[in-house]
Structure 1
Amino acid sequence: MTAQAQAQVGIEGQYTERCNEEVRLRSTWRGRFEMARTQHLLRQYLPEAPADVADIGGGPGAHACWLKQLGYSVELLDPVDRHVAQATAAGISAIKGDARRLPWENEQFDAALLAGPIYHLTEASDRRLALREAIRVVRPGGFVAVVAINRAANLIGSTIANTLLTRQQVVTDILETGFSPDNERMAETVYHTTTQLRTELVNAGLASVTIHGLTGPGGWLTIAIDRYFGEIELPDLLQQPPPMDTALECSRLADRHPELVPSSSLLFAVGQRA
């Protein structure tokens, strides 16, 4: 089996056997917070509807459904059969495919969202191909938005969960290289620094690159709640004020201070096609 085929098997297993992305985005504190913040940032860059958007690695279609409700025309592509089926069932035009070889025409879309491919392509050459393909299908002046995982996310998350000492080698690998072959949490996943992410987007040909803290420091509150409460109702002490409001306001405040971007577990980078 080729390395590419092995990677695809790993990703299929991640989203078929270990993680239901549709449930995560709609039912967990972390997922709902991530959705709200993604929508907040997309509103800053998307042209007004109607416009054409490519949702590359769009998973089960959570972002595509929201965009469609706003009046956008959305085409979704994902490498996982389960995701394509879920997106299609939700009424989204969805096909199975590879971010490195998009099936669409040149300059077909006004914007492209890559909310998954960049951190699931562990080779820099593959990420460059995916970015260049996204640029190819976007019209001049259009934006390409990318989600990446902060290299420090495992260090902070494992500390919050009190699993750092049992995952120390994985965390150390990721901090030093951005990848660990023994990462049991996320198959075939690469982690970025802000400098690395900016460099990759600029080298691919995008202009006016800006990096935001997608989840910001407020996201760690939702991760802690999911870790220690899960389905259990929060105690009264943690319900007033609503923790989602606190997390969102925390990250909105951090948005005003670019030096706080590395405090976010997820990074949202956006660049413009010249």
Structure 2
Amino acid sequence: MTTQVDIETHYTTRHDEATRLSSTLKGRLEQARVRDLLQRYLPEPPADIGDIGGGPGIHASWLQEQGYSVELLDPVQHHVEQATAAGINAVQGDARRLPWDNEYFDAVLLAGPMYHLPEAADRRLALREAVRVIKPGGFIAVIAINRAANLIGSTLANKLLQRQGIVTDILDTGFSPDNERMAETTYHTVTQLRTELTNAGLRAVTVHGLTGPGGWLTVTIDAHFKDEPLPASFTEPDPLQTALECSRLADRFPELVPSSSLLFAVGQRA
């Protein structure tokens, strides 16, 4: 049985979050889509944004470039040091116990907390805290991992038979204690994610397919070529642009949301 490592170990010895969104097609698609969707919901700058679980500050740096004032919180000290070095106001902390006053931010982004808090009670606390620190009318955006992502990804990689127990656990409950790929990770259905935000008191909750059906093109290409340069036959047209346009088109059709490996949900505080 595989023993799941904790978040600190995962992000300091096994996984470089600072390069994840730039080193692969899948990462670049995710980054482009986060920017797409944030621009749709955020107030015009200047405004105060909380980046909770913001890692080394990839999204926060971009938000600052757009003219926003950003404060970042992350549980991993290494990420906080990276974010601080990038010129971001960053502190180490817990999404369930935020250090900020009530109604402090105009908008809040929670990336990691929704999938790195496997217990529903802990996610409720994190959402409640996010609601507390946001001003009335402000938006809270969260990123979650689709419960079907392991099934589809393992099948595309022809690894389903090796990981079938893990995949089945995740499909059944949203969590597997044997999941070796990501530390302390939970996976959402679209309905579950919408319900969690609604139950936290948010209104007008919308769930988007973050990477959309186009994300599976980037996963397949990344897996096939790894760190090798793409041959000319794969660069014209640019597969990133193909995947991005596919995901943008799919945004018009809510029934396509479950085809996305990542989910982006937004709700507004009353």
| TM-score, length-scaled by structure 1 | 0.96
Cα distance in 1, alignment partners of residues 85 and 157 from structure 2: 35
Aligned AA for 1:122? P
1:84 to 80, 91, 101: 80
Cα deviation for residue 223 of structure 1 reads: 1.1
1:27-66 aligned within 5 A: 27-66=23-62
Secondary structure of the residue aligned to 1:64 is helix
Cα distance in 2, alignment partners of residues 252 and 198 from structure 1: 20
How many equivalent pairs are there?
268
Cα distance in 2, alignment partners of residues 59 and 264 from structure 1: 22
Aligned to 1:260: 256
Cα deviation for residue 160 of structure 1 reads: 1.5
Structure 2 residue 139 is the aligned partner of structure 1 residue 143: yes
Aligned to 1:243: 239
Cα distance in 1, alignment partners of residues 9 and 30 from structure 2: 22
Cα distance in 2, alignment partners of residues 145 and 24 from structure 1: 20
1:1-274 aligned within 5 A: 10-274=6-270
Secondary structure of the residue aligned to 1:47 is coil
Alignment gaps of 5+ in structure 1: 1-5
4+ residue segments displaced more than 2 Å: none
Cα deviation for residue 25 of structure 1 reads: 1.2
Cα deviation for residue 31 of structure 1 reads: 1.0
Secondary structure of the residue aligned to 1:197 is helix
Cα distance in 2, alignment partners of residues 255 and 42 from structure 1: 14
Secondary structure of the residue aligned to 1:226 is helix
Cα distance in 2, alignment partners of residues 113 and 234 from structure 1: 33
Secondary structure of the residue aligned to 2:6 is helix
User: C-alpha deviations, 1:150-173, integer Å up to 9, x for none?
Assistant: 000001111121111111100000
User: C-alpha deviations, 1:140-197, integer Å up to 9, x for none?
Assistant: 0000000000000001111121111111100000001100000000110000000000
Cα deviation for residue 236 of structure 1 reads: 1.6
User: C-alpha deviations, 1:23-59, integer Å up to 9, x for none?
Assistant: 1112111111100000000001000000000000000
Secondary structure of the residue aligned to 1:261 is helix
Aligned AA for 1:197? L
Aligned AA for 1:159? T
Counting aligned pairs with the same residue, the percent is 72
Aligned AA for 2:170? I
Aligned AA for 1:218? G
Cα distance in 1, alignment partners of residues 74 and 130 from structure 2: 14
User: C-alpha deviations, 1:97-156, integer Å up to 9, x for none?
Assistant: 000000001001000000110100001000000001000000000000000000000011
Secondary structure of the residue aligned to 1:35 is helix
CA RMSD of aligned residues (A): 1.1
| TM-score, length-scaled by structure 2 | 0.97
Cα deviation for residue 69 of structure 1 reads: 0.1
Cα deviation for residue 18 of structure 1 reads: 1.2
Secondary structure of the residue aligned to 1:247 is helix
Alignment gaps of 5+ in structure 2: none
